[in-house]
Amino acid sequence: MTATGRVLARIETDFAAYQARWMDWLRIPSISAQPAHAADCRTAAEFARRDLADLGFTAAIHETAGQPVVLAHHPGPGDGRGVPRLLFYGHYDVQPPEPLELWTSPPFEPVVVDGPRGKRVVARGAVDDKGQASMWLGALRAWVEETGGLPVPVTVLIEGEEEIGSPSLEAFLDAERARLGADVVVVSDTSTWDIDTPAVTTRLRGLVYLEVRLRAAQRDLHSGLFGGAAQNAVNLLARALTALVDAKGRVMLPGFYDGVAETPAEQRAEWDRLGYDEAAFLGRIGLRHPAGEAGRGGLERRWARPTCDVNGIWGGYAGPGAKTVIAAEAGAKVSFRLVPGQEPDQVIAAFKQFITAQVPDDAKLDFEVFSSARAIEVPRDSRFVTAAQEALAAEYGRPAALIGSGGSIPVVESFKRLLGLDSLLLGFGLDDDQTHSPNEKFEVRCFHHGLRTHARLIGQLGGA
């Protein structure tokens, strides 16, 4: 039996212990957004540090301006020649659990319940990201406990501010780059295609997120006395925002599509084979008509085409009843999801110019940028993607899809930009895991597959 075979057998024998360790971690309310939980964040970091130190990692808590980071290293087989160095990234912090009244059990008292697809664990962080990180932590443990070591050098980085936008991470990557040498970053923070169809995510969209505030008159005005004379900030802003996207769903910023490549036919064919049912997808959220660019496939629109959404708008009177006011001010949050070939800075500049050109020159505009991140595309033929596909196929008994995600994982872009590292996005979540919502859950079957897939991948990359 190969070493990998023995490790997989051990996982089966000890599975209850891996699940118990995951659930113990879930009991720590490490909510990074809430200052009252700072000590809990440290406890959750220490939990992971001790876990890794037990396995022979040199493991330390590093202070940052915010929540601490766990950084750990295991040299692997020693000579290291010919085997890749892996950097596992995860986060121990979780989203606030509110609204509490919608939970069916307390968010930090994980429970195992029966669901239509077997057992599931319900708790805040069940999947995001303690559950997903527990899979590769478990795989590392199984390797060490079964074979006395690891077949590849491994660095582990577990941060505590992902849910608040990782404000301290880039400074940390920059300061610790000497300890972060690796050939690939392994990230388990995405979803699989469905519970039976494994997948590697090779695309993430980028994000530009801005706020625009428009001021017309110096003060709110009476709409009777000034209607037909004074410009209305709400009318002006709504008109400018509407002009951003045409009736066919194309974003009208000049140059917006210049660097955007057509999705290769082969890629589209592969996505077609996934059997995506857009009507069913929309039906689950109560819709029948899709948004986005006319004439594009459903998955292409979600994964490979840029978008523009107004995420919020306000202005004038929004209370009960009527107030006949012409608003002096209005504002909106606007975001663009970007695809490879688009530069966030160019999109920001084009947006400002476009909105400015849409409104009269006596209107005052203010802009604030909250996010600016390029899209990510992992080469589909990289050795890591191929190895992950092989590990998944062996585990699931069916080929792994290469999928995209319409969302953004800013840290993936940070690793690429600051350290030049590609990421392997190997996630086991499902669309209905209620991430960030009440009753977050992770299927035990997904956890089990993920734990074993990580063990297989480590063995395969280490030639073991």
Cβ proximity of 445 and 109 under 8 Å: no
Q: What does each C-alpha distance from 301 to 338, 382, 410 come to in angstroms?
A: 11, 25, 20
CA separation for the pair 69, 90 (Å, rounded): 10
Query: What is the Cα–Cα distance from 105 to 87, expressed in whole angstroms?
Result: 35
Looking at the Cβ atoms of 142 and 199, the one nearer to a second copy is: 199
Q: Does 146 bind a second copy (CB under 8 A)?
A: no
- Residues in 423-452 at the binding interface with a second copy, rule: CB under 8 A: 436
**81 versus 289: smaller Cβ distance to a second copy:** 289
Identify which of residues 15 and 281 has a Cβ nearer to a second copy in the complex: 281
Q: For residues 160-189, which are near a second copy according to CB under 8 A?
A: none
User: Smallest distance, Å, CB 405 to a second copy?
Assistant: 7
Asked if 282 interacts with a second copy (CB under 8 A), we say yes
- Residues 173, 178, 180, 183, CA torsion sign: positive
Contact 234, 329 (CB under 8 A): no
| Residue placing its CB nearer to a second copy in the complex, 389 or 408 | 408
Total residue count of the chain as it appears in this document: 464
Could you say whether residue 245 binds a second copy (CB under 8 A)?
yes
Is residue 248 involved in binding a second copy (CB under 8 A)?
Answer: no
Q: How far is the CB of 374 from a second copy (least distance, A)?
A: 14
Q: What's the CA gap between 68 and 199, in Å, rounded?
A: 32
Please state the closest distance from residue 78 (CB atom) to a second copy, in A.
42
Q: What is the CA radius of gyration of the chain?
A: 24
Stretch that binds a second copy, among 105-113, 194-202, 230-238, 345-353 (CB under 8 A): 230-238
CB crowding 283-319: b at 16 or more within 10 Å, else e? eeeeeeebebbeebbbbbbbbbbbbbebeeeebbeee
Residue 30 tokens read as 């490490």
Nearer to a second copy, 39 or 243 (CB): 243
**DSSP state letters, 393-428:** HHHHSSPPEEEEESS--HHHHHHHHHH---EEE---
Can you tell me which of 15, 257, 314, 367 binds a second copy, judged by CB under 8 A?
A: 314
Contact flag: residue 275 with a second copy (CB under 8 A): no
Pick between residue 111 and residue 369 the one whose CB is nearest to a second copy: 369
Which is it for strands 221-222 and 325-326: parallel, antiparallel or unpaired? antiparallel
The residue range among 51-59, 120-128, 155-163, 279-287 that interacts with a second copy, by the rule CB under 8 A, is: 279-287
Residues near 383 by Cβ (< 8 Å), separated by ≥ 6?
A: 84
| Residue found under tokens 């802003």 | 237
311 binds a second copy (CB under 8 A): yes
Residue of 46, 64, 226, 367 that binds a second copy (CB under 8 A): 226
Distance CA 96, CA 34 (A): 8
Member of 19, 147, 168, 408 binding a second copy (CB under 8 A): 408
Contacts of 165 (CB under 8 A, 6+ apart): 371, 410
Of 83, 214, 234, 375, the one binding a second copy by CB under 8 A? 234
Q: Does 337 bind a second copy (CB under 8 A)?
A: yes
> Is residue 279 a contact residue for a second copy (CB under 8 A)?
no
Residue 386 structure tokens: 């191929």
Whole-angstrom distance, CA of residue 356 vs CA of residue 351:
8
Q: What's the distance, Cα to Cα, between the start and end of the chain in Å?
A: 11
Does 229 contact a second copy by CB under 8 A? yes
201 sits in which H/E element: strand 199-204
Q: Does 317 bind a second copy (CB under 8 A)?
A: yes
Residue 182 CB, nearest approach to a second copy (Å): 26
Nearer to a second copy, 27 or 333 (CB): 333
Question: Of 266, 322, 381, 420, which lies in the binding site for a second copy, with binding defined by CB under 8 A?
Answer: 322
Q: Which of 16, 269, 280, 285 binds a second copy (CB under 8 A)?
A: 285
- Decide: is 365 part of the binding site for a second copy (CB under 8 A): no
Distance in Å, CB of 194 to a second copy, minimum: 15
Question: Looking up tokens 């406890």, which residue turns up?
Answer: 43
The one segment of 143-151, 181-189, 263-271, 277-285 that binds a second copy by CB under 8 A: 277-285
Q: Are 237 and 214 in contact (CB under 8 A)?
A: yes
* 241 contacts 334 by C-beta, under 8 angstroms: yes
From 128-136, 148-156, 181-189, 216-224, span contacting a second copy (CB under 8 A): 216-224
Least separation in angstroms between residue 205's CB and a second copy is: 6
How many chain residues bind a second copy (CB under 8 A)?
A: 76
Instruction: Report yes or no: 213 and 329 within 8 Å, Cβ to Cβ.
Output: yes
What is the DSSP secondary structure assignment for residue 156, as one 8-state letter?
Answer: E
Instruction: Determine the interface stretch with a second copy among 34-42, 89-97, 105-113, 293-301 (rule: CB under 8 A).
Output: 293-301
Q: Does 374 bind a second copy (CB under 8 A)?
A: no
Site for a second copy in 4-33 (CB under 8 A): none
